[in-house]
Amino acid sequence: MKRRHWMILSLVSVVLLLSGCTEFDQPISSESEGFWNEFIVWPLVSVITYFAELLGTYGLGIIVVTIIIRLVILPLTIKQVKSSKKMQEIQPKMKELQKKYASKDAVTQQKYQQEMMALMQNSGVNPAAGCFPVLIQMPILIGFYHAISRMNATPEIDLGSFLGFALAEPSIILAVLAGLIQFVVLMTGPAMDNPQMKVMMYIMPFMIIGFGVVLPAALSLYWVVGNIVSVIQNLVIYKPWTRKKSEPATTGGAKK
């Protein structure tokens, strides 16, 4: 599992490197060159601007495009959740195999790997299924993040204000709100069933608040709306209340 996490971290780092981080604070236009600018950032800027002109404010434009993007990647999110559920279901059997093949010699570890693969195949679990949707989403989400940042750096674009918040300036209130909702996202998602993922419950909200207090409020608005959509998705797909109800019942059965 550790190797898998390092693989995800490495791939995400590569995506961030290739996503044009060096142009993060540069203006954007239809003449901006490069694959990332021409096919990711500028199209997103154009769509946000279109809805802003249609609805009257960039705030509403950001909200609409955020919701559209979340709905587009919803099938990937569902696939990721299903994969996480299946992995959690076979956790007891995986722990049994770890105890059975606790010896670190090559022969024992080879048998352990074989039985582990057989367990996953028989249970319909694909270890890569949970990672692939995340990697697909990353360019889209980072591109949207860059689009807003570079719109703020473009003199011809005035983000204006939304609900009293100047979208071009940092907002502590929106940053804290985004962090709190991020915590709710993790509370209602698969992190609660995975001890390793629980660490994110305490790190991610503070990271978002930290970035939000120094970056434009438009980005915090994006996080707020995106996280609200994520909470709704978790409630519908993951049904966290069923998990909380089932745990006491299982404990009670064990005592009997």
CB neighbours of residue 193 within 10 Å: 18
Would you list the domain boundaries of the chain? 30-87+127-246, 91-124
Q: Is the dihedral of CA 185, 190, 194, 197 positive or negative?
A: negative
- What pTM does this model have? 0.70
Separation of alpha carbons 128 and 88, rounded Å: 15
Separation of alpha carbons 126 and 38, rounded Å: 34
- 161 by DSSP, 3-state: which? strand
Q: What is the pLDDT along the chain (256 residues), one digit of tens a residue?
A: 444 444 444 455 444 444 445 566 677 777 777 777 888 888 888 999 999 999 988 999 999 998 998 888 888 777 776 777 777 777 788 788 778 777 777 777 777 788 878 877 777 766 665 566 566 667 777 788 888 888 887 878 888 888 888 888 888 999 999 889 988 887 777 655 555 566 666 777 888 888 888 888 888 898 899 889 888 887 887 766 765 554 444 444 444 4
Separation of alpha carbons 239 and 77, rounded Å: 14
